[in-house]
Amino acid sequence: MADVEALAKVVAEKHSSLDVLINNAGIYKTPAPITQEGLDVRFAVNTLAPYLLTQRLLPLLGSSARVINLSSAAQAPVNLNALAGRIHLSDQMAAYAQSKLAITMWSRSMALAHKDGPAFIAVNPGSLLATKMVKEGFGMSGKDIGIGVDILIRAALSDEFATASGQYFDNDVGQFASPHPDALNQQKSDEIVDAIESVLA
């Protein structure tokens, strides 16, 4: 999180405004799943870091700006104790899927809290694309990574996403879709945000 704070500070020093923030960093499989702070690295990288970076850069993001958060087709109910680092998940996919639902949930929660902008949009860029994460995690080359690149450019710049704040775009089916039901539950989403805030406090 100190690295995220440092990044936000450098960006704020160099820029007075931002049009788009794409939270793209992600991790699935790692030999060291616990951070120095005792957090699950999947939650730290996939959920907490983008939330913290977004909060720090929010003053630079105007009403027409967009925050694009990388979600996934893999989404599973979030164990708040795992998110907070109080318990550790041994199942790599379980931790990854929970972290991706968590970012989808806080994306929607932030959209509801900032109705005048910026827009917050969760995007599944496509399953099993040819990324380092897929190669290392699944031992396969993966599909054309251009699929993911193209949808992120569209999400950042095209008119079709201009009024999509709070929505989830599933690039596996090529359209806006329903995320895991928990992401549409306001109470559960608020609990996720509260848990994230507690970890980062």
Cα 170 off chain centre by:
14
Sheet holding 119-124, edge to edge: 18-23, 61-70, 119-124, 168-170, 175-177
In contact, 60 and 18? CB cutoff 8 Å: yes
What's the rounded Cα separation, in Å, for the pair 18 and 29?
Answer: 32
**Residue owning tokens 């999400």:** 155
Instruction: For residue 104, give the nearest of 73, 149, 129 by alpha carbon.
Output: 73
The yes-or-no answer on residue 51 being catalytic is: no
Query: 19: which DSSP letter?
Result: E
Catalytic site residue from 28, 51, 96, 168: 96
In contact, 56 and 110? CB cutoff 8 Å: no
What's the rounded Cα separation, in Å, for the pair 79 and 17?
Answer: 36
Q: Which residues are annotated as catalytic?
A: 96
